[in-house]
Structure 1
Amino acid sequence: MAEPVPHVKSALRTVELLDFFAQHPGLHSLTDLQGRLGYPKSSLHALLRTLVDLGWIETDVTGTLYRIGMRALLVGATYIDGDPVVQLARDALDWLAEATGETVHLARLDHFDVVYLATRASRHYLRPFSRVGRRLPANSTSLGKAILATRDDDEVLALLPADLPSLTRHTIAEPGQLLADLRRVRKRGHAVDREENTEGLRCFGVALRTTDPPRDAISCSVPISRLTAEREKDIVACLLEARDRIERSAVRQRRAY
């Protein structure tokens, strides 16, 4: 077995700092960052100044508060623009949004979170809306549960954090209950988020079998005020059709190569 490659401390700290800013939007002081990350204040200050000069981090007008910078946006946009699944899913997501009239998402599992890669807003939603780049715990979303359900129970348990996050009073935050819900997902063929991420919103999700094991999923979100049993049946049928379209496109692409 190959020995693990030792980390370069400065590179590791740079990545950890950028990860912190990505997960904690807004402005942060040097003291706050030092308390959160535990780096020596002098080396943290030097690292911040370097990243500010390179455009990865920005400061406020006083120069004493820090936030994520423009270069991170450029790199993130490049990732999405070059991702093959995002490209494959584009037409199917457009069709799904038009067919349902509701908000649809594409997301990817990253450790125990799902990261949103593409969004199409509901025709009922009048304000600008995008979750691209946002991450949420897998147990609180239909996207995450759809992906987790493609793993067996032992694999899911290995992914779980010490404490399952709870975003609403409906979130499943107990491992045994989550495993039971995932068994229902496997039997049903799709995942359901019953106000577990956002109060008043129900979401339906299916995993994309474009990788083994699947790491991506698509979903459709509907306010419960607009949801009926017949509407739910239609939405799930559209989701399954969109999934099949994406997977057929993936097969055609592989054959082309």
Structure 2
Amino acid sequence: MKIEQDTSGDGTVGKALDVLDRVAAFGRPVRFSQLLEDAPFPKATLYRLLQTLTNQGMLRFDPEAGTYAPGMRLVRMAHAAWAASSLAPVARVHLDTLSRAVGETVHLAQLDGGQVLYLDKRHATRPVPMYSEAGKVGPAYCTGVGKAMLAYLPEAELAAALGQQSWHRFTPATITDPDTMREELAAIRAAGHAFDREEHEPGICCVAMPILTGGGRVLGAVSVTSSSAGEPAALTRYLPDLARAVERIAGEMRDWRFPDRGES
């Protein structure tokens, strides 16, 4: 499983974190030989790192199956990080309200290194299979939540984020170059919301809005996602409920943990 990450300047700690990322990315227990296929370091180094991570409880080794999986220490740390991340716990009740109002799939996400990190999800009354799940990382340039956040980044941050996109064509509707994306982002800023028009997955459309501080800083985004049966424009009927959700989340975040200097 290919992971684009350069840990060459981060020493042993960077290499260990790289191994943890690779194990987690499989989404299932993984054998040593599978990890070795794309590992950027020698077999002996990989084995030593796996042994250390296992000894520390960050990974769990199943001797019968010969596989590695995230250990309970790592799971506890992940749970604590999620609980302390602020946005997910604050947004939970508002996602519940939005989900009940629209009956469609609802996502909460943040930007992470130019990509989308899904923090939480509510399933539709009639669920539609799709890639996104809480904890997964997805592309920013072809998802509704990703584009909604990119559209409101300051220029320097936007340029850096666009430079980190793969511009892979997932579907015929995927935007695959920065110039066209900049035009799309300008339209999103003018409209106040973004669409995913089957750009990441065939048959999946969504409408998304950014969660902004009073000073316009991007905290995250929320989307309402459905199949393409009704066409993306049909999702505009959810905009009032979506707007209420992001406004309430932003209000609580501003009052609680993310005050911007000079904001009222």
**Range with greater deviation from structure 2 (199-208 or 162-171):** 162-171
1:169 partner SS: coil
- Distance in 2, Cα, partners of 1:80 & 1:255: 17
Q: 2:80 is matched by which residue type in structure 1?
A: T
Amino acid at match of 1:244: E
Hey, what does 1:3 align to over in structure 2? none
Which residue of the partner structure matches residue 96 of structure 1? 98
C-alpha distance in 1 between matches for 2:227 and 2:128? 14
The percent identity for this pair of structures is 29
What residue identity is the alignment partner of 1:208? I
Q: Distance in 1 between matches of 2:127 and 2:140?
A: 24
2:209 aligned with 1:218: no
Secondary structure of the residue aligned to 2:93 is helix
1:209 aligned onto 2:212: yes
- In the alignment, is residue 243 of structure 1 matched against residue 250 of structure 2? no
Task: State the alpha-carbon separation in 2 of the partners of residues 219 and 189 from structure 1.
Answer: 13
Q: Partner residue of 2:15?
A: 13
Gapped regions of structure 1 (runs ≥ 5): 1-5
1:47 match:
49
Residue 252 (structure 1) shift: 3.4
SS at match of 1:38: coil
Distance 2:69 2:253 in 1: 38
Q: 2:201 aligns with which of 190, 198, 201?
A: 198
TM-score, structure 2 as length reference? 0.83
Alignment-mate amino acid for residue 157 of structure 1: A
1:36-93 CA distances to partner (integer Å, 9 max, x unpaired)? 2232322321221122233322334446433333433322222222222212212211
State how far apart, in whole Å, the 2-side matches of 1:98 and 1:142 are.
20
Q: How does 1:20-31 map to 2 (within 5 A)?
A: 20-31=22-33
* Letter of the structure 1 residue corresponding to residue 142 of structure 2: S
Helix, strand or coil: the match of 1:239? Answer: helix
What RMSD over aligned residues (CA atoms) do the two structures have, in Å? Answer: 2.8
Q: How many residues align?
A: 249
CA contact (8 A) 1:96 1:242 kept: yes
**Alpha-carbon distance change, 125 to 246 in structure 1, aligned in 2, over 3 angstroms:** same
Shift in Å, 1:119 = 0.9
Query: Contact 1:114–1:135 at 8 Å: present in 2 too?
Result: yes
> 2:146 corresponds to which letter in structure 1?
G
1:214 maps to amino acid: V
Matched letter for residue 198 of structure 1: E
Counterpart code for 1:72: L
- Provide the C-alpha distance between the structure 2 equivalents of 1:117 and 1:94, rounded to a whole number of angstroms: 14
Asked if residue 158 in structure 1 is aligned to residue 146 in structure 2, the reply is no
Amino acid at match of 1:121: H
Deviation at 1:250?
A: 2.5
Task: Select between 54-63 and 95-104 the one with higher mean Cα deviation.
Answer: 54-63
Gaps of 5+ in 2: 1-7, 260-264
Distance 2:63 2:258 in 1: 54
The answer on whether the counterparts of 1:57 and 1:70 sit within 8 Å (CA) in structure 2 is yes
Q: Give a deviation string over 1:184-214, Cα, whole Å, max 9, x none.
A: 1111110110011221111111111138631
Pairing partner for 1:185 from 188, 198, 208: 188
Query: TM-score scaled by structure 1?
Result: 0.85
